[in-house]
Structure 1
Amino acid sequence: MTGTVVRAAQVSLLALMALCGQAQAGDDQPKVTDAHFTIAPGYLKPSDLPDSLALLGPPPGAGSAALARDEEARKATLTLRGSDRWKLAVQDADLVFPRPADNFSCALGVPIDEQNTPHLFGLMKKMMSDAGLSTYGVKNKYERTRPFVVHSEATCTPDQEPILHDDGSYPSGHTAAGWAWALTLSEIAPDRANELLARGIAFGQSRVMCDAHWQSDVDGGRIMGAATVAKLHTDPVFLEDLRAARGEVEAARAKGLKPTQDCSAEAAALALQ
């Protein structure tokens, strides 16, 4: 099958999984609309996830300065639509592995894949579930409308719009996952912390550029990503995987392995924001 057909099939499967997730949600499991966050089991039980209802307030209200800031942030991205930075935002929107691992490989300086860094690859998949699910208490309470719906615009990923349309905008699950990855990768490779944290920031800003989230959604997502990492550090299985992942990165460096992505092109695209 072509890449377009494969991606369409993946999106259809995710939509079906999301419907199943809504139907099966119990008292300790939030209703999950974006099934990207249920593909792999996380490290944490639902009861151990950070509570977004305790950590975040409501989204900006009509006429507030915070909402005006959201609108200004959205408008600031309009001139970049169709640019290389926009194309990078499309890649950041794709949470089907191995794409997320590829997105952070340049910042880490070594490939993140099942062959060379299997523990790290698996850790990122499981963390995505924990970070994404941590956002759903507030998502489900406020069910904030996304900017592309408010403004009747297209996003950078039209195939995902049916899922996004009914998934609360605040806070951003993509951003929560991206920031959690950036923090954890920085712990694994502290000498690359600046590059990794900058990539994590850009990963969240890609959601604003895609018109899929407001800036305040992204800000809230970073809070939940950081809270998730704090919780994960109480989990012995995560800590063991973290230790193994650090060893894999050290071994990859010793072998002189480099990312297969065009890191120069990525850096040039990121410089546009």
Structure 2
Amino acid sequence: MPTMQNEPSPRSKRGAQALFLLATLLSLGAEVARAASPEWETPAVSHKNVKPYVDVTPLHATTLPPPPEEGTQADRDDVAAVLARQQVDAERRAMAETDGEFLYDRFAPVLGVELRRDRFPALIDLLNRSVRQAGQPAFAAKTLYRRLRPYQRLTLEHVCGRTGTSKPDPDAQQRTSYPSGHSTYGWTTALVLARVAPDKAPALLARARDYAESRLICGMHFPSDVEAGRQLATAVVSQLDLNPEFQRDLQRARAELAAAR
């Protein structure tokens, strides 16, 4: 039967469907990219095969309370804090954007050295194994609580990694706000580096607070999310302090850094 003049052909329909599917996948990819984990090392390398010291996945159950329920005073305080962070100046916003992309590079200036594998292999291995370990309970909690992120709940003018105003999306599938992975990683990095270079501990911990604060400015997390990240990192590193293999690697990293200084 001939194709009607105003009706698209089957081939055109398939082409349109393919384009729609591609656009949907790209949109989902962009959604994930906005909240993706930071690059630990620069230049970037795969960390899929990094072995944590011990499995601490269940730690979230004994460390973290559930996130505030929507409509409670604690949740309203969370929302107010994110909205207030929309007013920061351009310099602080740019800092937050870069904090969202990188990890070790953002703490290196405090130490006064470049945290690169070719210069500090023992230190980088120590950090990688510690951060990988901290990610275990963090992502287990994300899967359990499935909390919407600020940009999924609120109309925000500034969201890191995107242009235009965010629109509430209560049916979003990617619900990974609690706890903040960046905050967990940042505090873990700072706490481990503070053990490597105790003289830099106050500055490192201050940088971790700013690094976590950047997630509020980015519209990616609520204050209770980043606080949960700090609590998890503290609990994880406390477990590491009891691990003989971690202590051995810590001594190697201290010697490596001391020699460079």
Above 0.5 in TM-score? Answer: yes
Q: Which amino acid aligns with 1:111?
A: E
Structure 1, residues 45-90: CA drift from partner, whole Å, max 9, x if none? 43x3452122111111122221122122112211126x12111111
Tell me which protein shows more helix as a share of its residues: 1
Please state how far the C-alpha of 1:34 moved relative to its aligned partner: 6.1
Q: How many residues align?
A: 219
User: Counterpart of 2:43?
Assistant: none
CA 1:139–1:196: 2 relative to 1, 3 Å: same
| Fraction of identical pairs, as percent | 32
SS in 1 for 2:130: helix
CA 1:191–1:36: 2 relative to 1, 3 Å: closer
SS in 2 for 1:80: coil
CA 1:174–1:42: 2 relative to 1, 3 Å: farther
- The counterpart of 1:149, out of the listed 141, 148, 152, is 152
User: Counterpart of 2:64?
Assistant: 56
CA 1:73–1:106: 2 relative to 1, 3 Å: same
Q: Which amino acid aligns with 2:124?
A: F
Q: Does 1:90 pair with 2:111?
A: no
- The counterpart of 2:53, out of the listed 31, 35, 44, is 44
User: Counterpart of 1:245?
Assistant: 253
Give me the whole-angstrom Cα distance separating, in 2, the residues matched to 1:110 and 1:167: 37
Q: Which amino acid aligns with 2:50?
A: P
* Maintained 8 Å contact 1:139/1:169: yes
Q: Which runs of 5+ in 2 are unaligned?
A: 1-27, 41-46, 167-171
Q: Which amino acid aligns with 1:116?
A: R
Give me the whole-angstrom Cα distance separating, in 2, the residues matched to 1:35 and 1:78: 21
* Maintained 8 Å contact 1:132/1:174: no
Q: Does 1:203 pair with 2:207?
A: no
CA 1:203–1:176: 2 relative to 1, 3 Å: same
Give me the whole-angstrom Cα distance separating, in 1, the residues matched to 2:231 and 2:123: 23
Give me the whole-angstrom Cα distance separating, in 2, the residues matched to 1:50 and 1:222: 16
Q: Which has the larger radius of gyration?
A: 2
Q: Which amino acid aligns with 1:126?
A: R
> What RMSD, in angstroms, separates the aligned Cα atoms of the two structures?
3.1
* Maintained 8 Å contact 2:97/2:218: yes
Q: Which runs of 5+ in 1 are unaligned?
A: 1-10, 17-32, 254-273
Please state how far the C-alpha of 1:36 moved relative to its aligned partner: 7.3
Structure 1, residues 22-61: CA drift from partner, whole Å, max 9, x if none? xxxxxxxxxxx96979634242343x34521221111111
Q: Does 1:222 pair with 2:230?
A: yes
Give me the whole-angstrom Cα distance separating, in 1, the residues matched to 2:149 and 2:69: 14
Q: Does 1:121 pair with 2:124?
A: yes
Q: Which amino acid aligns with 2:243?
A: D
